[in-house]
Structure 1
Amino acid sequence: MSSRARALLVCTALVLAVLVTAALAPLPYSVAYPGITANVLGDDKGKPVITISGADTRATSGQLRMTSITATGPDASVHLPDIVTAWFRTDEAVMPRQSVYPVGNNTEEIAEHNAEQMKQSQDSATRAALGQLHKSPKDVKVTLSLADVGGPSAGLMFALGIIDKLDGDGAGHDLTGGRTVAGTGTIDAGGAVGAVGGVPLKTQAAHRDGATVFLVPRQECTDARAELPQSMRLIPVTTLGSAVDALKALRTGGAVPTC
């Protein structure tokens, strides 16, 4: 074998070794998928998601579904082939692990953080909803219960669920108009709706579970349109009040915002 051929063989072996190492090396990413949805007007594991005391509540029809994503765990190894596969699928997304798990180094720490965020989100949703209806938290007690879900992204749907159970559209009708409405968005006590991430996967989860309308934070309209299922109507919102107004208009045939 000539020296040139030997050099080429060595170089080829080195390149192959680098490619194999790259393929097998764990990378700092998570792969996300459409997660569960839950009707906040209904029950979860045999318990009402929303329980209200201190005020009369109303029977509701239709559904208000919070949405979520599922991602590979913080301890899972994600490799180059996993990422390449996810890039070519519409029902998977590659996300920096730090954006999925910004706090905590293990499953227990992350679960604790997500549970605390969910609690804060529920408190803010309650205050926002009661504020929208000019009711005092001192007079009306709201308990929210949703198992196996963490983080703040259900805040908007919790707040809408509270309003629907207490007041509907204010004229004797359901906010949902009898539809299955899904959505996502953080909420603060003043009713401002914030971005959450993972919206294209959430619209797919909502479509899978029967939703025909999806409420999305306005700043995430572009992301939401990226993989929007056919026949799903996308409604941008900026505040709890704008979400309520949009649902009222949808029921009555009025002007509804679009992305």
Structure 2
Amino acid sequence: MPLSSPPAWSRRTRALAVCAVPVLALLVTAAFAPLPFTIARPGWTVDVLGDHQGKPVITVSGAEARRTSGQLRMVSIIATGPDAEITLPEVASDWFRTDRTVMPHDSVFPPGKSDKETEERNVEEMRKSQDSAVRAALRHLHRSPSGVKVSLSLGDIGGPSAGLMFTLGIIDKLDGDGRGGDLTGGRTIAGTGTIDPDGTVGPVGGVGLKVQAAGRDGAGVFLVPKAQCAEASAGAPSGLRLVPVSDVKGAVEALRGLASGGRVPSC
């Protein structure tokens, strides 16, 4: 008696099973293959009116520096390193977290640059930011850089985003609020923004994460570049007041208003 052939559906099932094996293996491989992303999270905050790594952040010579109260905190973000292997499960788990941001790798680490070159670029950006902060602060106070010398030190933190807070810190050290009081009004103020020598405040990256770092470290007010109000608002913790600023003059006026109980714009 001849053997009967297996049903057609059975042959198709076996064929699909055989085909599924390499597909499944491909999916598993893809899931754990490195992807071109970097994951960032809230980083350090540093009071520019105080010390960092055992050294004053702001040192003044050629003029008397005021004793200040309150804090002016610059903020940072921390990103995974240039050689970190970010996989699909990590991207998927962090994509919807408010305290994480998934960013294209090349937006943080320029292609074709070594780790050393990237670090040198960040240090150079910080140096330029510090120079601009000194010039903007002295210009605001109508003081000559030939008579007043200011040096800034922030250890191993790089990039240009501390420019605004450096500028305000210098102003507070030299002049306070201009009326005999502290520019901070005794508060803990945080903020971010690049600075041009003419006092213009520019946008920065990672604002949504920086407001979280500021709230975590006790700030009640956050100065944010005006164009980034919406971005900052989306990530701001409850109780943190966001104050938009476009230039140094506006930032100083806002801090004076907060100290005196006056009207101050909010995001």
Deviations 1:41-69 (A, max 9, x none): 00111111000011122110000000000
**For structure 1, which runs of at least 5 residues remain unmatched after alignment?**
none
- Corresponding residue number in structure 2 for 1:143: 151
Q: Does 1:59 align with 2:58?
A: no
Q: How far apart are the structure 1 equivalents of 2:204 and 2:19?
A: 47
Residues 200-219 of structure 1: matches in 2 within 5 Å? 200-219=208-227
User: Relative to 1, partners in 2 of residues 1:184 and 1:12: Cα closer, same or farther, differing over 3 Å?
Assistant: same
- Separation in 2 of the partners of 1:157 and 1:55? 20
Gap change, CA 1:103 and 1:179, over 3 Å in 2: farther
**Residue-pair matches, total:** 259
Matched, 1:110 2:126: no
Residue aligning to 2:30: 22
Verify the 8 A CA contact 1:200 1:226 in the aligned structure 2: yes
Calculate percent identity across the aligned residue pairs: 64
SS at match of 1:41: coil
Deviation per CA, 1:237-256, whole angstroms, max 9, x where unpaired? 11111111110111111111
**Aligned residue identity for 2:89:** P
5+ long unaligned stretches in structure 2: 1-5
State the Cα distance separating 1:98 from its structure 2 match. 1.6
1:13: how far off?
A: 2.1
- CA 1:255–1:104 in structure 2 vs 1: closer, same or farther (change >3 Å)? farther
Cα distance, 1:104 vs. partner?
A: 5.8
2:37 equivalent to 1:3: no
TM-score (norm 1): 0.97
CA distance in 2, matches of 1:225, 1:8: 51
Alignment RMSD: 1.3
CA distance 1:140–1:252, shift in 2 (3 Å): same
Cα deviation, residue 105, structure 1: 2.6
Q: CA deviation at 1:103?
A: 6.5
Scaled by the length of structure 2, what TM-score is found?
Answer: 0.94
Q: Matched residues in 2 for 1:230 and 1:188: separation? A: 31
Bigger radius of gyration among the two: 2
* Letter of the 1:206 counterpart: A
Q: Post-superposition, which runs of at least 4 consecutive aligned residues in structure 1 deviate over 4 A?
A: none
* 2:202 equivalent in structure 1: 194
Q: Distance in 1 between matches of 2:105 and 2:176?
A: 40
Query: Whole-Å Cα distance in 1 between the matches of residues 78 and 151 of structure 2?
Result: 25
Map of 1:126-165 to 2, 5 A cutoff? 126-165=134-173
Instruction: Give the conservation status (yes or no) of the 8 Å contact 1:75–1:106.
Output: no
Q: Distance in 2 between matches of 1:166 and 1:196?
A: 27
